[in-house]
Structure 1
């Protein structure tokens, strides 16, 4: 029976892409690259069938460590692309190679039925929580569940810039015990999806983030 269940999971489609590397500034001297992770699936393992989040290399390292620990060494995890001490934010080839390596890592992870049940994987792929928040949420130490954290992330794209800031202050990315975080259905009713102005303002925000910055420090 367990084997039939595993086969059914494998037959479901889980497509993942790692794309759109962007340079982010920590401060004047330090910068890093994050990548967009797009997921399309019909798998029953995922509540949300389409999602998009951004993650940096160090968060992939955290994910692998958590998956290895949570599986209690029952699974041999694929390797991440190695950390290169000479990695340069100005080297397009290095960035592309790392991006492809991160995608291969996720593709192999998502083929394992045991790992698909790990809350850390779902939070990594379908929420924008920080590492500390993902860890707390997966351990049941937040006022919101894993499912609520995933749902909260997807709703933000419908907000205007002003509402987006309010949502960030009250969302599941904080420890706020707000009704919005506890009951995602209430938040759906309050969204003004049809406002053209809201979509336009977010498009402007997205395009401004795509400006290329010139840095040559390492990524972590």
Structure 2
């Protein structure tokens, strides 16, 4: 049987560290029936530097046995208000994930699952993958919840509006209702379940 993994990189948002410093992150939506994933629908937010970390970890963990695709080049003149640059970067990030998800070797990497299906920071993803946390990779994935996805038309409208937005997104960062109090400070949230829009697919 063919197994389908559909992934989207969408909804760019400007996040502010403080008055002077800001960065952009992106929503990653995953919809799959693959046996590699216990969680079939998920949604998290990641920034470009976290994609860089993921590629480095996958390259190290695969012991050079897998040929990893390239990320979109880092542009020193990248503007948080340039819709074309943002769109091109999102396209490159999505293409990177689509190619990554075609490799059974990489699909067995816990760092990939934590990146795609948890809202842990880079430091906590490294600790969790190395077994240095009181929660497992599976627990970290399960506690990060779901949200209703928008229609394809709404996605296009959402992108045009969010490219110039400076609104802060705190979704997927509040503690989940169905995990223990001890885990809730580290792991994620729970949102409502829904159906993903049509998009490109990776078939295994």
Q: TM-score w.r.t. structure 2 length? A: 0.74
Deviation digits for residues 53-89 of structure 1 (CA, Å, limit 9, x no counterpart): 0000000000000000000000110000000000001
Supply the RMSD in Å over aligned alpha carbons: 2.5
> In the alignment, which residue of structure 2 is the partner of 1:151?
142
TM-score (norm 1): 0.69
Question: How many residue pairs end up in the alignment?
Answer: 164
- 2:66 match: secondary structure: coil
In the alignment, the residues of structure 2 paired with residue 141 and residue 149 of structure 1 have an alpha-carbon distance, to the nearest angstrom, of: 13
Distance of 2:94 and 2:42 partners within structure 1? 15
Q: What SS class does the counterpart of residue 154 from structure 1 fall into?
A: coil
Written as runs of structure 1 = structure 2, the 5 A alignment for 1:131-146 is: 131-146=122-137
* Higher helix residue share: 1
Gaps of 5+ in 1: 1-7, 175-180, 182-190, 194-198, 200-220
Q: After TM superposition, list the pairs within 5 Å mapping 1:61-210 onto structure 2.
A: 61-154=52-145, 164=174, 170-171=182-183, 174=186
Q: Secondary structure at the match of 2:104?
A: coil
**Change beyond 3 A, Cα 1:173–1:104:** farther
> Where does structure 2 lack aligned partners over 5 or more consecutive residues?
149-170, 193-204
Q: Say whether the 8 Å CA contact 2:135–2:183 is kept in structure 1.
A: no
SS at match of 1:28: coil
CA contact (8 A) 1:144 1:172 kept: no
Larger Rg: 1
- Structure 2 partner of 1:24: 15
Q: Which has the higher contact order (CA 8 A, sep 6+)?
A: 2
Aligned to 1:207: none
Q: 1:155 to 1:79 in 2, by over 3 A?
A: closer
For 1:165 and 1:112, the matched residues in 2 are separated by 32
Runs of 4+ off more than 6 Å: 166-169
Q: Please say if residues 25 and 47 of structure 2, whose CA atoms lie closer than 8 Å, have aligned partners that are also in contact.
A: yes
